[in-house]
Structure 1
Amino acid sequence: MAVSNKNLSSPRKLALIIGNQKYQSENKQRYAINNATDFSNVLESINFTTTKACDISKQDMASQIVDFRNKINDGDLILFYFSGHVYQANGKTYLIPTNDSNIEKECDFDDFAINFEGTVKRLVEKNPSFVTIFLLDYCSPYVLMNGSAAKLKTNGKGLSEIQPPPGTFIQFACSANQTSLAVLGANRNSLYTKHLLQNITEENVPISDLFRRVRNAVHQESNQRQIPLSMDGLRQHKQASLNEVIVARLRTQDFLSKEPLSQSEYRYYERCKEYYRGTGKPLVSVASEVLDNSIGLTSSILKFGIDDNYCNFDVQDFLTTFCEKMPLKMDDIVVKGIQAGSVIMTVAITGETKSNDKKRCLQLVYKSFTDSLQDELGKMKTFFIFMGPEESLLKIQKYQEKLYLHPEFNRVYVRGRDFWQGALSDGKGRGSPYYCPVGWKRWSFYVTDRFDEKFNGWCICYHGTKFAYGISILLNGLKPAYRHEHGAGIYVTPSINYASHPRYAEVKQIPSSFRNTFKLGDYIQYVLECRVHPNSIKKIVLETLRCKNNVRIDPNIENERLEWVIDTYKKTIVDFNDPESPIVCTGLMIRVTQDHPGLLPESQWWFASHLCESENCCKAGIELSILTRKLQRGSTCSIIYD
């Protein structure tokens, strides 16, 4: 993303690494030298000056600690790591050297082992104003030479907590009454050090947070049998990190492109802004190649539309905030360009990432777009986000050029205007009976020239939706359902009465800001009118709202034929505006009512079907208890047509 520079004002970083493995007693270790070697190498990769010593006696351990202490200047970042046997007795913690043959009883530790608390005190005294870290990794319980296992409260396993001096962070590989585990299926490192190695190089992660990650990873991989014990004395240095990296700040002016938006791009983004201003959320679009694992990606971009003038736009702040909300790091992306006006920014997944990893990265980002996250991004003035190859976005924009209202075919379905009884008989081939959608208005969309010829024999059907989703579908296409009662595909119905159920078509109370638009209306619903080729209808099946007591949902169509499953021909996203698609959108159906539409006679079947107040299911726009009381009082509802 940007060049990393060494911060000249950063503290020196010094580490003493000791690994004791070949003990004179029977207390052998398996991983200590590998642990020490690998950990030392990793620390050197993040600019630590390390001193490593392996298989050393008590005298050599003491000398190493003294020499290391003499190198410390106040203000350094200090790390002490020991992998080997550790023992607690009489309230003290001991690091055991390899020449341990004289240790037969607990009273021998004072003479033949290194007192850990004393080591902590000596090192901290030289570095009172900054951070000193102590890490102890140990495996099997230490058995005394006389053959008797330790019988302290720790039972020779794990270590009990000690009080950390100010400015220190201490972590033991496991808590009291636990044993540090080996890595299952591997023999290079202990489990604790394995996760140290995986996390220690993370950039700009506060020390406490980094070791919390290590603790959680060990706990998870050990199936809760091992959890490192942390003692945090970093009250004044909470933001200190082991791998502090100063990143050159991104400047908007460095990425400004002289290439203007094309007319099709401009018009598309203006529509996206309308969506954003009406919903408060960005329009999120993803290319089918991202979701289809059988297709490779030619390129991997994130494209943002931000409703802000480029003169006021801070690219660094925006991307930092975005990445914090996503499974994405700043190092994963590179800014390719920013086009002036409202900010249109192109960001690519970095070239170092493999193609499959790029796809997985975009899939994770796409799955992160919850409603609440979209609300947060809306507050960041983000009106559009696209994921996938840029050529796929250009294709979407191409079809959008052809999507516009066709007012000649707008309709108001009510007696005295556009109305008929029974199946319409006007000589046009529709593939299935077409009944009057009474009570609805249609905003007609232009699809293609010579429409009747092109779509002769195609069936009319409906797809209920939230208004925001409806506009999103028109702008981006529809992702098929993969886990549904009747299998994969797009679910539609020949009955607008069925499509109007709150499970499918959100009942939305009209905001006060739209009162002038909808005049006397209080509630509104939206349903997409579509055309589908009969050969693309895979199944015609029973409704899935579990209507009880043999209640008929639509007087013209049997309940057993209310759901159609449309074949997507393995497309992960079906563009409703592509004339070559198996299903196309021909209009937006709107119903505006003076009170809740659940009071309408044609909606009474709702109460014999599944109807709930779950946020993820039915969107009734009212508490069901209130709606029920209205019905009991005999309240009625009128449809507003003007």
Structure 2
Amino acid sequence: MARSNNNASQRRKLALIIGNSRYHLSENRLDYAKQNADELSALLKSVGVKVTLAHDLQQTDLRNCVIDFSKVIREDDLVLIYFCGHACHFDGVNFLIPIGDNKIETKHDFEDFANNLMNTINLVLDSKQSYATIFIFDYSKPYLTKSTKKSKSLDQCEGLNKISPPPQTLIQFARSSDDHASTNLYFKHLLKNIAQENVELVDALRRVEKDVAQESNKKQQPLSMDNLDKSRSICLNPVVLEKWDEVKPSEKAELMKKQNELRACYDNYPTIDDLTKKNKPSIEKAERLTKDILSETPSGDATKRDTVCHVLYKLFEQENQECLFFDSTRDMKLHDASSNLADFSTQDKPFVLKLNNVHGLGTKTYADDGQQGLNVVHTLERAREQNQSHPVLDDIVDRLAKAHNVNKKQIKIKTFFLGSCGVVYTVDDLPKNIVKSLSTVPDRLQEQFEQFQSAKIHPLLFRPSFDISQFDERGNKTFTDQGQFEVGPTGRKMTYYQPVGWARYGLQVLGRYENDTWLHPFGHDENWYKAYHGTGRAIAQDFGKADGDIDKQYAPIDAAASIHKNGFREARVNVYGAGVYCSPDPTFPVKEYVGTVQLQTQQGPKKFMCMLQVAVNPDGVRFTTAPKIWVVPNPKDIRTYGILIKEV
């Protein structure tokens, strides 16, 4: 039967919390009982429960406390009684052990100097019929008594016996009578579950039973006795659920397509743990390989792998970075950063925080969006794009700032994506000692985000590594002639201008896609157009908008490439619309934003420049009013197949 939740938030919630710690024998003292009572009291108050709190009650005081509490109960109240202390049974009767138990020498003294549990329950229920009454008796540690008056040894008393609960009550014991738990495990799970938002109290206490039994390997098994009306909703923390903005049916397909592309891109980022902890054997092998490569003077031949490796190393060295080279064919399992080389000169290399969900974030509680998180991402992304405040978005920024120990103004959210909820962000003015502190970032993020799943970073942010086995000598070529060729489908061919004076180092792309005709054999009707993609920083006039407002620092013409393995991401600069920017003219990217390095080679000192050679899908390119600028809206329609190097 469905439970009704009418007036749940208006119903009074009362609790009597008792913690007995200071028992007569040192062996019976419970150091945690007072703290348990205080912590549960604070939690219940935080969800609107009116709490009566008492510590270390003697027999008469305990009885009077229960009587006084029962007098304030009204007919429609939700009532909770929690007792943390010793409890046991003797001769078929259950007892709560009060403080001042020095007169209890043997079990036969319980009748005179302990509180009868059933009588205590009835004292509460003698008042008007409440909406529901929950009794929780937390007695984990066994109570010790003498076996006889003259005995010097102590015996353990059995726990509480199962009882029949009165109508509209639920009673839970921390352990069954024959369990012998001696820890505070029960309270740990009670505190975790009892006040969860919109969770039925019956379900919460069942979860406590399950969690305690599981963690104790069934050595401790709480016992519940339930006589509640199953049609009634009994929840300590009912809240009104806010709704996420719904995605319109007409927008869903396009939004899902974009989300899948974002997820494919960012899921390929390495985790921080992989870079700093987990792959130590592979890192050590890569360090040795890198040392071997760099110890040899490069040939100076741009088509040779040693020269390319030295050029890459120097490019990162100029940025105060160190890179590694590894060989995946020799059991080195590192992340290949060649797929992100086009982001080399940008400053906004992001972190990626993956959460299971956004539960617990913000000042409000939201209903399940029913779309596997699509409405969540849609809502947060729209707030970010429109620079609007949103409680969940604001909370994420605050927590990220605490995790990175920076001012929250330094946190810039770049985007959100599905799976389950991904947060892409940058940290302005990263401290120079990031290398030393990076390994602690996942732990600090986990402290801030209960739903933490993983922490990833841009492959070029920390000690990027490059797989030398991904270079393909079949693609190596030195361009000596100003050759021009028509490539592409019949009737739509475009001119391919060879990059005269450049040497191409091929990347391993043949056999990677459904077929090779996009690239090989050259001249095939299914060949894609040829273009070039810079690796440096562009300026406004390069986009045909000399007076435009363009962030020069973050405006590389490639505008967010992801080469070789992952394709590309969309441009940051959208003068000609969203997409990846490239040029059919090999001289265009050279203007002001191609990186230059100097090497001491076997042929003497030399300087080299770098850019990328790409293929563009004829069905996926948009030609702009500037003939030297092409835009590819879908990153899947542009593929890098070579690194171009030119001696200056």
TM-score of Structure 1 vs Structure 2, range by shorter chain: 0.3 to 0.5
- Give the structure-2-normalised TM-score: 0.46
